[in-house]
Structure 1
């Protein structure tokens, strides 16, 4: 059997008249009759009771029709999905990003792109650095927004913006009234920081080592917001990116001090697999970020919370 025979069978089941259905399907009545006969021969049962050119579904036909219709529906859905993939205005893009980029970078890029492409669907996911790269490697993600650049030469990388790392201290800390600090001044302080397998943690550990000490880790977490809250509770200090949320969402008055040590920053950018074939939507968004991403990110980066 083939798809055409299934469609002819379903049409004849809905309108049980050989001549009329043949005309609708743009085939001859004998060709339609032979096709139904082939289908019945393959199934080993008759599907219709025949009275000349008028036919009627029998109990075998009624049972089979439900399965045939589901199969046709699935085939049509698959064709529609492929059509979406080939449509630069209606496809889907799987964009994964670091937790800390969800309040400014990703909204800025996605929002600007959707102004001209409102029907593109985004499937978004927030993860740490290592899971992001794994998702790209496994084919679960099309593009990543992260930083710093992942290790290895396989991935394509486009830098977008360099973000400073600040020292968050408890409100009653002796350094709380300062505007800037050298890392060596907190060498004996407990640190709350991200897990050791995160890209940002590697940057933090390297900064501390260059300042002449290994950080005394009091807590390892998954999200910067958690670290900020624990600093406010007095558990330790933390090297973290700036806070970029609306004023009403800020629940702590944690001082954030500029770090004077060289390299107290992380580079953020877009990552993709240059060897993977791209849908028009993925290619369009990637080219949009290559063209306009740096400007959009810089504007979002300096935007003052409401």
Structure 2
């Protein structure tokens, strides 16, 4: 049976007349009578008692009507839910992003977008680059902010900005007052780092390879805030972006207990970008947010 046949059945129940029901539905009387006959044959019992042109719902029909209305109600609720999700004014955007951009970049992007689309809801998750890309692959999120640029023919990527990386050291460290430092000079240092599978770990490993060093790693953590704490207490140094927060349009940076020493050379940065599945349909809300992010990118500090 089809959803429209259930709708026809409920209209018949309300009108108790094939002619009136057919006129209301814009159908021919013979066509509606044949549809009712098919439905009753599929159910295996008559749903109405017939007295001429008048139809009276019997006990089989009453039992079936309750379920038909429930199915129609669920179908309508599903239609409304999809329409709401797909609406550019009140839809939902699911996005994954790196831990390091959750305090400044993501708030900045949301602030710009929500000024124009206050009714759009967001489902946000934080994770490493591998976790975020896996969520994108499974269809759990529409967009991801990650680094470095991922490979894959189905992935679309747009660069947002380059983020400078530093050698983070405690305030009393021998490099703390340096204007810049080469990673080769830190070859003997103990490092703390993100766990493998994160974008920052990949960027760190790329810089270590370029410098020709294999550092000793004292600790591998899940988030950058923990790494900063470990650096502050002297457990090791780390390759990190500067701590930043976005508050009411002001971009703040720095940690009083750390020193961020710029890395000498050309590789002391990483590229942050927005990625999505090019082979998947994007709802109007997702498309609007994506365009907003790309339009905001040139304004990022």
The size of the alignment, in residue pairs, is 294
**How far did 1:272 drift?**
2.4
**How far did 1:168 drift?**
2.2
- Counterparts in 2 of 1:162 and 1:187: CA distance versus 1, 3 Å: same
- For residues 207-226 of structure 1, the aligned pairs below 5 Å read 207-226=207-226
- Counterparts in 2 of 1:38 and 1:207: CA distance versus 1, 3 Å: closer
Deviations 1:28-59 (CA, angstroms, capped at 9, x unpaired): 66765554343222211122344555554433
Asked if 1 retains the 8 angstrom alpha-carbon contact of 2:98 and 2:145, the reply is yes
- Give the structure-2-normalised TM-score: 0.82
- d(CA) in 1 for partners of 2:117, 2:246: 27
- Counterparts in 2 of 1:56 and 1:232: CA distance versus 1, 3 Å: farther
- d(CA) in 2 for partners of 1:63, 1:285: 47
Counterpart of 1:245 in 2: which secondary structure?
A: strand
- For residues 31-110 of structure 1, the aligned pairs below 5 Å read 32=32, 35-50=35-50, 55-84=55-84, 87-110=87-110
- d(CA) in 2 for partners of 1:36, 1:151: 56
**How far did 1:221 drift?**
1.6
- For residues 157-306 of structure 1, the aligned pairs below 5 Å read 157-178=157-178, 180-245=180-245, 253-262=256-265, 263-295=267-299, 297-298=300-301
- d(CA) in 1 for partners of 2:23, 2:228: 72
Asked if 2 retains the 8 angstrom alpha-carbon contact of 1:181 and 1:257, the reply is no
- d(CA) in 2 for partners of 1:66, 1:230: 63
Task: Name the one with the larger strand percent.
Answer: 2
- RMSD over aligned Cα atoms: 3.1
Asked if 2 retains the 8 angstrom alpha-carbon contact of 1:169 and 1:254, the reply is no
Alignment correspondent of 1:304: none
**How far did 1:84 drift?**
4.2
Deviations 1:38-85 (CA, angstroms, capped at 9, x unpaired): 322221112234455555443322322232223212332343345346
> Which region of structure 1 is more displaced relative to structure 2, 19-28 or 52-61?
19-28
- d(CA) in 1 for partners of 2:292, 2:160: 12
Asked if 1 retains the 8 angstrom alpha-carbon contact of 2:165 and 2:263, the reply is no
- d(CA) in 2 for partners of 1:172, 1:32: 86
- d(CA) in 2 for partners of 1:27, 1:199: 61
Asked if 1 retains the 8 angstrom alpha-carbon contact of 2:194 and 2:222, the reply is yes
**How far did 1:128 drift?**
0.7
> Which region of structure 1 is more displaced relative to structure 2, 81-90 or 136-145?
81-90
- Counterparts in 2 of 1:210 and 1:25: CA distance versus 1, 3 Å: closer
Asked if 1 retains the 8 angstrom alpha-carbon contact of 2:190 and 2:237, the reply is yes
Asked if 2 retains the 8 angstrom alpha-carbon contact of 1:47 and 1:57, the reply is yes
> Which region of structure 1 is more displaced relative to structure 2, 187-196 or 72-81?
72-81
- d(CA) in 1 for partners of 2:291, 2:230: 40
